[in-house]
Amino acid sequence: MQRLVRTFLSLILAISGGAIAVAAPSADHSYVVSLRRLTEQEYRNSIADVFGKEIEVRGSFEPTKRTGGLEATSTALLSVTPVGFESFNKMANDIATQVTAEKYRAKLPCAPKDAKAPHDVCAREILSHYGLLLFRRPLTAAELENRVGLARRMAERTNDFYAGVQYALSMLLQLPDFIFRTELATPSAGGKSGTLDAYSRATRLSFLMWNTTPDAELLRAAGSGELHTSAGLVRQVDRLMASPRLEAGMRAFFDDMLQMNTFDTVSKDSLLYPKWGSAMATSAREETMRTVIGLALHDNGDIRDLMTTRQTYIDRRLAMLYGVPFAFTGDWVKYEFPLESGRSGILTQISMLSMFSHPGRSSPTKRGVALREIFLCLPTPEPPNDVDFSAVNDPKNPIRTLREKLMAHNTNRTCAACHQMTDPIGLSLEGFDTIGGYRTTDNGEPIDVSANIQGKTFSGAQGLGQYLHDNPQYPACVARKLYSYSRGLKNSFVADFPDAYKAFQDSGFRLRALLKSIAVSDSFYAAGPPGNPSSNDSTKVEAQ
Amino acid sequence: MNFNRRTLLRGSCQGALAVMGLPFLDCFLNSKGQAQTNGRPLPTRFNTFFWGCGLTASLWIPKKAGTDWDMTVQLKPLEPYRKKLNVFSGLRVPLDSKPNGQHWSGLAAANTGIAPFRSGEFESKTIDQQVAEVIGKGVRFRSVSASSSGDPRQSYSSLGGTNHLPSEPTPLSLYTRLFGPGFQDPTKGDWKPDPRTMIQKSVVSAVAEDRHRIMQKLGASDRARMDQYFTSVRQTELQMEAELQRPNIEAKVSIPDAPSADIVANNASPNLRVVTPLMARLGAIALATDQTRVFNLSVSSPQNAMFVPGDPLGFHQSTHEEPVDPKLGYQPRVHEYNVASMELFAAFLKELDAIQEGDGTLLDHSVVMAFTDQAYARIHSVDGLPILVAGGASGRLKTGYHIAGDNSAVSRVGLTLQKALGVSVDTWGKESLQVRSPYTELLA
């Protein structure tokens, strides 16, 4: 890949007679539509693709903050705190040191005659090469000369060409142009709207599809104007979607949508559940990713089947927890639960069941709140401040099962409004304990897993799975989250991308159909008018 | 082209290009002159301690006010420090027209003097950042935060808005930030600045000079974000500047070995009892060696998820689900968690009080504000929010008092502490939380 970029750059260099002749963004009327802070994975993937996998990224990243159901949305809202920049600074110095170390130098586009002296021509070649890849656009002539100047001064100061390059590269890595994905738009003729420029299109596409920085070919298509033609755009979208790297992109999306980072702070009671260990979380997360990617991507299946499938992937640890004999070699194996297991799709995987539970007890309310938000895009309001549990906890009237406790909510109209929606979902999953194990009794009482939501009656996890499978709000919610995720929006309505949603529906809810029709539609690259550049339409924020 | 003479001078020392080695070192030491010698007054430090879900009013509030207050069952773990402690009860948290955001409004009011509009956001810089601006200049870290339950999001330190300064989530990450790369041990005789720091600082300065270019083409909200970005750039620049100067220390401490990466930091109470003192000790050593003057330690999120193994509910869930025992008149399990929280606070104070420096201990030269989010977690009420303050601010804060329910707004504590720490502030807080008069009886 690096060779391709090099060829592309030398082409530009040849045309322009040595100077990079790409229009400086400041010379036009373009405006910033959104600035999205790279996530940890996006940063790591970018460094691996720009410099190679041998370059280590050592450091910590500031957390993101789930907003409107997605971590991705917060990347368009958060800045970098002093603690965050301190870490970016250290990582930049560390990466630049590795890239200019003796053993890496052969990979650089050129070498100076004398490694102890500055060499502007070679420095320029190195910095324009990496500048394009890091900023996802060519450096302007002024930017490039500034960085070359820094490299020269530092080389003079240290009597070391590579130290000069090291500090100039480190500077590039510390600039917002790298740390944030900058989306630039150019205004339309009337100035009432705008459209993303070519490099911003390439960037949005690449992070959506591959969860990383655009590759040389995509940057070439941006530079040549191809991405502004529909044939050129379709060609690139097809190329990105045909690549195995699509899996990384879709994993990142589902990891966010399914709130898998909840695992970062899940702890289980080791007295009550000695089988649980922190490694269990890693396995459980991977199981769900394998199931989703296997069904939606590799098998091109109907996304609704994620609610009902009994096919999954397990490793030794999970086999132990699921009570399945693991008589296989290798780490992971495809497995189909028998019907009588009561399991239903990702709803009954250890991930979903354990993330939304207490350390020592399952929580129908937590599960209900989470699943409604994740799969139906229906957030639940906070309970009232003076939430009254006296009926639930009256010691004179001991309530044995959790169901009885929760049903007590229905004696209070304020509580009932939400609990009638959340609890049936959670109660139908009560056949599974806080770490996802199957059970038939709770506190010695047999568990009743029947449920009724708005007149629809079902029983157990498999009933819930079918209910969600048949609920049109579920695929609509997946589409909505994918669209919001790709644009970093706080919220999106299916009505905002009707063609893509129709294609999704017509395909029988195939992820690829949705992804492609979003990516090739003009509206995906449309921007608001200049002066009101925030793509996060505030009027839509409150709806979520 | 922004690269000009000014940038070049920044990367130099008294006009002469700083290259590696001794001349550069000399020039730095000389430039500070007296500052490098001992005998300078010790700095006063500010710390916060946060725990979620508060205490139980009938069990923590002493009956008597003043210095002769009666020890209570929930404050008992703090007995060894009672002469260095101030206890504030009966504080009001008026929210005006703002919603009572569960597990948020109370802590935000205590922490900023402003009732927040939205849960999870602060309307201004938090008190530790306001104080750090005054007392934290010239040291490596403007502030350091740590979460002993292992979550970087558990931070109540912010420059305002959505961004919170993340907490170090493990003893090892805290250790690495404080005493890892960039740290020069001032307790050793061979301290010398790292010449690479000087060069790296000039690179950061070059980044800062791109501010103008970045600011073009931005809408208002993105401008604010980039403003914060470049504020952060500036702080790293200042940090590097500080790293080039030897801190002035009085305490006889040594830097411990790095803690094991295997130590588990989570909400299980046995782990909290290991990690909290460990993080407190690292923070105390960082304060004693003047790496920072502001240290924030939190032991939980506001919805305190601490649990004793075998208890399926844990702290927060117990506050809502455990019945009030009709004979005792309180929630017995919640009481145990309240006491456990105070034990963790005591563990923090123990580490601060264990370090001798000058005429007293590190705790004597500090102010520690312990605060929480709820007065009565069961019903999410905030009036009567418990606040405990330890440390004498190098003699500027009188201690040993119980300031009993005089109907003051909670922000009066924050104002008083800032006065004691030398922050020049006449009023603090907004709307009904705005206060003008500190507790003058506590100011020495």
ipTM: 0.90
Q: Examine the domain organization and report whether B300 and B340 are in the same domain.
A: yes
- Determine the number of helices (DSSP H) and then strands (DSSP E) in chain B: 13, 11
Q: Which among A143, A395, A531 is the nearest to B323, CB-wise? A: A395
Same domain, A215 and A262: no
- Tokens linked to B345: 């606070």
Question: Which residues in chain A are closer than 8 Å to B211, comparing Cβ atoms?
Answer: none
> Between chains, do A82 and B232 touch, taking CB under 8 Å as contact?
yes
A392, pLDDT greater than 70? no
Measured in whole angstroms, the distance separating CA A63 from the mean position of its chain's CA atoms is: 13
What pLDDT does A190 receive?
83
Of B150, B165, B173, the CB nearest to A60: B173
Q: Chain B contacts of A86, Cβ < 8 Å? A: 177, 232, 235-236, 239
Report the alpha-carbon distance of residue A315 to residue A303 in Å, rounded: 24
DSSP letters, A235-300, are HHHHHHHHSTTHHHHHHHHHHHHTTGGGGGG----TTT-TT--HHHHHHHHHHHHHHHHIIIIIS-
- Secondary structure (H, E, C), B185-198: CCCCCCCCCCHHHH
What phi and psi, each to the nearest 5 degrees, are found at residue A37?
A: -65, 130
d(CA B380, CA A511): 43
For residue B301, give the 3-state DSSP assignment. Answer: coil
Q: What is the pLDDT of residue A400?
A: 62
Q: B280 with B347: CB under 8 angstroms? A: yes
Of A218, A243, A268, which one is at a domain's C-terminal end?
A243
Whether the per-residue pLDDT at B23 is higher than 70: the answer is: no
Residues B183, A88, A214: CA angle, nearest 5 degrees? 155
Instruction: Label residue A420 by pLDDT band (50, 70, 90).
Output: confident
- Write out the two tokens for A352: 């979903």
Confirm whether B250 is domain-assigned: no
- Partner-chain contact B120 A79, CB within 8 Å: no
Kindly state whether A502 is in contact with chain B, defined as any CB-CB distance less than 8 angstroms.
no
Q: Is residue A66 part of a domain?
A: yes
Print the domain residue range for B123: 47-187+255-442
Are residues B200 and B183 part of one domain? Answer: no
What's the total number of domains in chain A?
2
pLDDT, residue A370, reads 97
Contact A171 B314 (CB under 8 A): no
Given A209, A243, A277, which residue is the final one in a domain? Answer: A243
- Chain A residues close to B213, C-beta within 8 Å: 26, 143
Q: Is residue A495 assigned to a domain? A: no
Q: Enumerate residues 6+ apart whose C-beta is below 8 A from A444.
A: A400
For A92, phi then psi, to 5°, come to -60, -45
pLDDT at res. B267:
95
Residue A183 to chain B, least CA–CA distance (Å): 11
Looking at the structure, do residues A304 and A430 belong to the same domain, yes or no? yes
A167 contact B CB<8A = yes
For residues A432 and A286, membership in a common domain is answered with yes
The helix (H) or strand (E) run that includes residue B274 is helix B269-288
Q: What is the pLDDT of residue B308?
A: 96
**Claim to verify: residue B116 and residue B173 sit in the same structural domain:** yes
- Measured in whole angstroms, the distance separating CA B249 from the mean position of its chain's CA atoms is 20
Question: Which residues of B are less than 8 Å from A90 in CB distance?
Answer: 181-182
* Chain A positions in Cβ-Cβ contact with residue B8 (cut-off 8 Å): 153
Same domain, B215 and B311: no
pLDDT score at A390: 59
Q: Cβ–Cβ of B323/A360 closer than 8 Å? A: no
Asked if residue A334 is part of any domain, the answer here is yes
Q: Is B424 exposed, middle or buried (0-12, 13-18, 19+ CB in 10 A)?
A: exposed
The Cα-based distances of B140 to A72, B247, B254, B367 in angstroms read: 32, 9, 18, 20
**Residue A388: closest C-alpha in chain B:** B379
Q: Secondary structure of B385-424 in the HEC alphabet?
A: CCEEEECCHHHCECCCCEECCCCCECHHHHHHHHHHCCCC
Helical H runs in A111-245?
Answer: 120-135, 141-158, 161-174, 176-179, 198-210, 216-223, 230-242
Give the separation between CA A50 and CA A212, rounded to whole angstroms: 10
Q: Are residues B27 and B154 in the same domain?
A: no
Work out the minimum CA distance from A196 to partner chain B, whole angstroms: 14
Beta carbons within 10 angstroms of residue B144's beta carbon = 28
Nearest residue on chain A to B218, alpha-carbon basis: A32
Asked if B182 and B215 sit in the same domain, the reply is no
- The answer to whether A19 faces chain B, any CB pair under 8 Å, is no
Query: Residue A424 domain-assigned?
Result: yes
Which of A186, A220, A243 delimits the end of a domain?
A243
Tokens 């500080």 belong to B242
Q: What is chain A's mean pLDDT, rounded?
A: 89
3-class state of residue A334 by DSSP? strand
Quote the pLDDT of residue A491. Answer: 84
Question: Best of A265, A356, A399, A537 to disrupt the B interface by mutation (most B CBs within 10 Å)?
Answer: A265
Q: Per-residue pLDDT for A383 more than 90?
A: no
pLDDT at A487: 95
Q: What is the pLDDT of residue A385?
A: 78
d(CA A358, CA A380): 18
B305 with B435, same domain? yes
Task: Describe the crossing of helices A198-210 and A473-487 by its angle, rounded to 10 degrees.
Answer: 130
Least confident of A270-284, A383-397, B200-214: A383-397
Judgement on whether residues B262 and B292 belong to the same structural domain of the protein: yes
Rounded to an integer, what distance in angstroms lies between the CA atom of residue B154 and that of residue B148? 9
* φ, ψ for residue B161, nearest 5 deg: 85, -150
With helix as H, strand as E and coil as C, how does B124-193 read?
CCCHHHHHHHHHCCCCCECCEEEECCCCCCCCCCCCCECCCCCCECCHHHHHHHHHCCCCCCCCCCCCCC
Burial of A156 (0-12, 13-18, 19+ CB in 10 A): middle
pLDDT digits (tens, 9 = 90+) for A313-350: 999 999 999 999 877 777 899 999 999 999 999 999 99
3-state helix, strand, coil in chain A (%, to 5): 55, 10, 35
A398 touches chain B (CB under 8 A): no
> Does one domain contain both B33 and B74?
no
pLDDT reported for residue B276: 98
Full residue range of the structural domain in which residue A423 is found: 255-469
Is the domain of B209 the same as that of B357?
A: no
Question: What's the gap in Å between the CA of A424 and the closest CA on chain B?
Answer: 20
Do the chains contact at B380 and A386, CB–CB below 8 Å? yes
Cβ contact (<8 Å) for A90 and B182? yes
pLDDT (0 to 100) of residue B14: 36
Is B233 domain-assigned? yes
Residues of chain A numbered 124-163 and touching chain B (CB < 8 Å): 142-143, 145-146, 149-150, 153-154, 157-158
**pLDDT mean over B277-301:** 98
Predicted pLDDT at B6: 39
Rounded mean pLDDT of B215-233?
94
Domain match, A133 and A169 both: yes
pLDDT reported for residue A24:
40
Residues A269 and A395 in one domain: yes
- Regarding whether A44 and A108 lie in a shared domain, the answer is yes
Residues forming beta bridges with residue A492, ordered by sequence position: none
Nearest-CA distance B334 → chain A (Å): 14
Least confident of A176-190, A333-347, A488-502, B5-19: B5-19
pLDDT of amino acid A394: 58
CA torsion B420-B107-B229-A212 (nearest 10°) is: 150
Residues from chain A contacting residue B153 (CB–CB below 8 Å): 63, 65, 265
Question: How is residue A481 written in tokens?
Answer: 């989250």
How does B151-187 read in b/e, with b if 16+ C-beta sit within 10 Å? bbbbbbbbbbbbbbbbbbbbbbbbbbbbbeebbbebe
User: Which chain B residues are within 8 Å of A184, Cβ to Cβ?
Assistant: 217
How far is B358 from A280, CA to CA, in rounded Å?
50
Contact: A81, B19; criterion CB under 8 Å? no
- Give pLDDT, residue A188: 86
Beta-strand pair B387-390/B85-88: antiparallel
Q: Could you tell me which chain A residue has the CA closest to the CA of B143?
A: A83
Q: Is A521 a residue whose pLDDT tops 90?
A: yes
On whether both A188 and A269 belong to a single domain, the answer is: no
- pLDDT band, residue B22 (cuts 50/70/90): very low
Question: Rounded to an integer, what distance in angstroms lies between the CA atom of residue B289 and that of residue B282?
Answer: 11
Lowest-confidence region among A151-165, A295-309, B14-28: B14-28
Place of tokens 């394998």: A290
Does B291 share its domain with B217?
Answer: no
- Identify the residue with better confidence: B387 or A393: B387
Q: Look up the CATH number of the domain holding residue B163.
A: 3.40.720
Q: Which of A1-15, A64-78, A260-274 has the lowest mean pLDDT?
A: A1-15
Residue A277, pLDDT above cutoff 90: no
Residue B42 is assigned to a structural domain of this protein? no
What pLDDT does residue A95 have? 98
Residues B306-339: pLDDT tens digits? Answer: 999 999 889 999 999 899 999 999 999 999 999 9
Average pLDDT over residues B343-371: 97
Residues B356, B363: Cα–Cα separation, whole Å: 9
Give the distance from residue B400's alpha carbon to the nearest chain A alpha carbon, in angstroms: 34
pLDDT at B268: 95
To 5 degrees, how large is the angle CA B364–CA B370–CA B372? 175
Strand partners, A182: A35
Q: Would residue A229 be called left, alpha or beta, if left means φ above 0 and alpha means ψ between -120 and 50 degrees?
A: beta
- Quickly state the pLDDT bin for A97 (edges 50, 70, 90): very high
Taking CB atoms and an 8 Å cutoff, what residues of chain A touch B102?
Answer: 382-383, 385
Tell me which amino acid residue A98 is.
Q
Residues of A in contact with B19 (CB under 8 A): 157-158
Tell me the whole-structure pTM to 2 decimals.
0.90
Nearest CA in chain B to A359: B312
A98 phi-psi bin (left φ>0, alpha ψ -120 to 50, beta other): alpha
The per-residue pLDDT for A393 is 58
Pick the range with the lowest mean pLDDT from A170-179, A529-538, B44-53, B384-393: A529-538
Q: Tell whether the model's pLDDT for residue A2 goes beyond 70.
A: no
A37 and A168 assigned to the same domain: yes
Residues contacting A153, CB < 8 A, separation 6+:
A164, B3, B8
- Of A31, A74, A86, which to mutate for an interface test with B (greatest number of B Cβ within 10 Å)? A86
Identify whether A153 is part of a domain: yes
What band does B287 get if pLDDT is binned at 50, 70 and 90?
Answer: very high
In this structure, are A334 and A360 located in the same domain?
yes
Instruction: State the best of B19, B163, B243 to mutate against chain A, taking most chain A CBs within 10 Å.
Output: B163
Report CB contact under 8 Å: B229, A85.
Answer: yes
Compute the average pLDDT of residues A244-270.
95
- For chain B, helix, strand, coil in percent to 5 are 40, 10, 50
Tell whether B135 and B214 lie within a shared domain: no
Residue A125 neighbours by CB distance under 10 Å: 19
Please give the full DSSP string across A50-72, using - where no structure is assigned: HH-TTS---S-------BTTBHH
Residues A351, A328 share a domain:
yes
Cβ neighbours of A145 in B, within 8 Å: 1
- Regarding whether A120 and A207 lie in a shared domain, the answer is yes
Q: What is the dihedral of CA A425, A429, A430, A432, to 10 degrees?
A: -160
pLDDT at position B24 is 37
Residues with Cβ within 8 Å of A61's Cβ and at least 6 positions away in sequence, in order, are A39, A40, A43, A84, A87
Q: How buried is A335 (Cβ within 10 angstroms: 0-12 exposed, 13-18 middle, 19+ buried)?
A: middle
Q: CA Rg, chain A, in Å?
A: 26
Q: Looking at A143-157, A434-448, B366-380, which range is the least confident one?
A: A434-448
Per residue in B62-85, pLDDT (tens digit) is 999 999 999 999 999 999 999 999
B34-45 residue pLDDT tens: 223 355 789 999
**pLDDT class of B28 with cuts at 50, 70, 90:** very low
pLDDT band (50, 70, 90) for residue A26: very low
| Per-residue confidence band for A388, with pLDDT thresholds at 50, 70 and 90 | low
Tell me, rounded to whole angstroms, the distance of Cα A306 from its chain centroid: 19
Residues A68-88 have a mean pLDDT of 95
Cross-chain residue pair B181–A361, CB shorter than 8 Å: no
Same domain flag for A237 and A259: no
Mutation target to probe the B interface, by most B beta carbons within 10 A, among A81, A177, A412, A489 is A81
pLDDT of B363 reads 98
pLDDT at B93 over 70: yes
Q: How many independent structural domains does chain B possess?
A: 2
Residue A489, pLDDT > 80, answer yes
Does residue A505 lie in a domain region?
no
Which of these, B322, B320, B271, lies nearest to B300 by C-alpha position?
B271
A357 belongs to a structural domain: yes
Which residues in chain A are contacts of B310 at CB distance < 8 A? 269, 271-272, 360
Query: Positive or negative CA dihedral for A100, A62, A207, B229?
Result: negative
